[in-house]
Chain A
Amino acid sequence: MFRVRIIWGLLLLGFISIIVARAAFAGPDQSNSPLASPRPLDQVGFPHELYGWVIPPDNPQTPAKVALGKQLFFDKRLSEDNTEACASCHKPDKGFTDQQPTSDGIHHQFGQRNAPTVLNAAFNVLQFWDGREPTLEDQAKDPIVNPIEMGMKNFDEVVARVNGIPEYQEKFKAVFGGPATMIDIQRAIASYERTQVSFNSAFDRFMAGDQNAISAQAKRGWAIFNGKGRCMSCHGWNPTQPMFSDNRFHNIGVSAHKSNFVPLARKALALLARGGGAQQLDELAIQTDMSGLGRFLVTKDPHDIGGFRTMGLRNLLVTQPYFHDGSQATLWDVVDHYNKGGVQNPFLDGGIVPLGLSEPEIDDLVAFLATLTSPEYLSAAQVEFRKQLKLSRTSRPQRDTAAAMGQLGRNGPGFEGPFGDIGPDQNQMAENPALLGGR
């Protein structure tokens, strides 16, 4: 069975490489790209159990519905001036992101948040960086009516426009038994998005028992990921939920770069107190400097200030740049950020502490992260990896070795106490989790 999958994976890989090459010249509309097609569930590492739990009972997957959803996903007529589709910011060849720090909406307006990938979004417990919508169905409607994303006036306008297109009349009747409604539009789009599941990575093959699937360096990185790097505490992997996310919200200090949390939070509370519902929340998150408050906008709980959802890590070499504001260009920058203990702020998560990772350890960790690439994105990821590697040799804006090593360094002269809460010997692993792959 396993061998069959490998062969299947190799075939797919070859096939995909051709497609990727072709997709690069395919122009803006990628709806015909194989990368846009529903993906098979028979992938190494695919969480069948979990997938069964995340399909909503009131919106089962059917081929006709998925096809309809796909058409809607790529249809620019869902935007006010017919220039933006969902796919404009969630491009299949770019890992269903736009690879920009923040996204370009109608009339070239830019929001405050980095476009998260659609890949494996089916498995998110909550949607958006701040979890302001619970499901893919709920999520799908917000960008359509956001003034600087797709800019439709309201949902009635969306429904009217869809129903005015004969092709859609026919298809909605076939799939949902009547003219389009907003919720059915959302259901169709969500159904399509749930087909974008992407596993089959070298890491998945390693975990399935192929010791040669990842390099020795990546294996060291996997050990760091689970040990000294403390990554797994939020980005944990297990076979039941292999998504590398705890689906929780953490302040790691990203928006402390440019936000004054306290006055912002006061301002947000005052605005929210007037009560504008989901749409107001969406606009605050996308269009204002209150975006940096993150989860707080949704819960109004002080401990959620500056907290953002833990993103999954799969295919992260095609979903750059990183963090909720797209502020970091390379994985080295991301690791540097964590290594120095994030950016200090009063709401910083108590688990974010300096890590004391050395330069080789950082390289190992990034090498591991690169193994999370699915085969259909392998060549694009290799290009990006080389680009980031090159950049990281000359530019490391987030690096702060003194902070990472406990201010004065663990072995600095006369320094007896670990300032940065760094243990003396975290290289020692009770057990290298890399060995798990050999079972």
Chain B
Amino acid sequence: MAVRHKSVETKYMEQRDAVLRGLRWLDRRSFLKAAAAAAGAVMARGLMPPHSFQLIEIANAATSKDFGTVGHQGSAPFRIAYISDSHLYERTLNQRFIRAIVRAVEDVNALDPQPDFVLYGGDLAQLGTRQQLDLGRQILAELKPPVKMMVGEHDWFLDLGDAWQEMFGPPNYSFDWKGVHFVVLMSVHEKDFWTARHMTPMERMRTVAGLDNPIQSRFEVGEEERKWLAADLAKVPHTTPLVVFSHSPLYKYYRDWNFWTEDAEQVQALLQPFSQVTVIHGHTHQMLFNRIGNINFYGMLSTAWPWPYAPQGLPPLTIQMNRADPFDQLDGCGDGQFMMRADGLVDTIYALWDRNPVSVPAGYLLSGGKSDRPPAPQFASY
């Protein structure tokens, strides 16, 4: 057969692969140069990279009555993208997880319109080494929108946050954007289980990295940070929409796997006075949503692998995602978007790879599951 025509898309993917291959030996400067060249090659043609195809907008517009309507509070609806739980190893060990986060970066860069910013939901690294974090930083640097970083336990427990804070700054902070108050928490503090056991930093890290490792303590925001949160929120009127980013779920789902925040009730109490509150969390690697009091909770997907649903404690409002097919390395993984609505609530899109995206409007949680119900899975978790 004759040499076949290569589409722009194929060429783009080849260039992307070349960049990825380059990760093997390039230093950061050369990597960025190569990455920019690849991206530029596409942009120069005035073409969108392939992931710009966003059918969900059509689907969402059809199903969600609220999204896109003019808000009664005067703030414009906007979009936040997220990438979470990439669990990067060193580039020489595992490139499957690298390819997954690169795919997510491309997804986000291709959104049209672009999100106002991107939340990185924590667990950038698998074992918290400087190399792993730096690799993640290089890849996330390719994101076109601004990035808000959040820390996860896999980023933290090797050096108790030294490298991460050096690269990304303080782990808890707040900011205001288009009338919404955003708080980013460091919610994966653990009580000291390592000193008495004479653990090395890597032993400590590996202990925390194991979900079913009973030695570690439960996650908590901690008294000090709760004080900081109370002081931060004291300045914000209770009618201001509030969005809290936290790596751990900020409620108690399943203790044995640390799908759990020990001081969840105290943190929730600080959020209850606000009229519109959304908590967005990582760590659980699955479609997960909940409502407690007036707080809507959404869990984020992982780019690396899906967790099974825990044997107990699944919030009744959660509609499970279909059981993942291990043959398909992308199945059950993905990224997603939050649609900040004019009324201050958040609709969520789970952009599951190799599947249709699932839209979970705030109305579903508000109605206690009566309306806007997402589709049920064919095969629920065991």
Contacts and interface: CB of A to CB of B under 8 A. Distances in A.
Interface of A: 233, 256-262, 265-266, 269, 300-303, 305, 327-329, 333, 343-346, 349-351, 353, 395, 397-398, 407-408, 415-419, 421
Interface string B310-332: 00000000000000010111110
Interface stretch (B5-13, B134-142, B213-221, B234-242): B5-13
Contacts of A262: 9, 48, 50, 52-53
Contacts of A346: 9, 13, 50-51, 53, 106
B91 interface: yes
Interface string B21-54: 1001000000000000000000000001011110
Contacts of A259: 7, 9
B65 interface: no
Given A265-B53, A345-B10, A416 B92 contact: yes
B196 interface: no
Contacts of B330: 350
Interface in B308-360: 325, 327-331, 353-357
Given A256-B7, A344-B14, A350-B354, 4 more contacts: A262-B9, A327-B1, A327-B4, A350-B353
Contact of A344 (B10, B91, B325): B10
B351 to A, nearest CB: 10
Given A327-B4, A397-B1, A302 B10 contact: no
B148 interface: no
Contacts of A300: 55
- Chain B contact-residue range equals 35 or more
A269 B354 CA distance: 20
Nearest to A420: B95
A349 B325 CA distance: 12
A415 B52 CA distance: 33
A416 B331 CA distance: 26
Contact of A350 (B3, B5, B51, B328): B328
Given A302-B356, A350-B330, A257 B5 contact: yes
A139 B2 CA distance: 33
Given A417-B94, A421-B96, A258 B53 contact: no
A266 B112 CA distance: 13
B17 interface: yes
A173 B328 CA distance: 53
B93 interface: yes
B58 interface: yes
A419 B10 CA distance: 19
A362 to B, nearest CB: 17
From A301, A328, A350, A415, residue with most partner B Cβ within 10 Å = A350
Contact of A397 (B4, B13, B14, B95): B4
Contacts of A415: 24
Contacts of A301: 356
7 contacts: A262-B9, A344-B14, A345-B50, A346-B13, A346-B53, A349-B354, A398-B1
A269 B2 CA distance: 32
A265 B48 CA distance: 14
Ranked 3 nearest A-B pairs via Cβ: A350-B330, A344-B13, A350-B328
Contact of B95 (A261, A266, A395, A417): A417
Contacts of A302: 53, 55-56, 356-357
A217 B331 CA distance: 35
Contacts of B14: 344
A321 B240 CA distance: 64
B92 A417 contact: yes
A349 B55 CA distance: 18
A333 B2 CA distance: 12
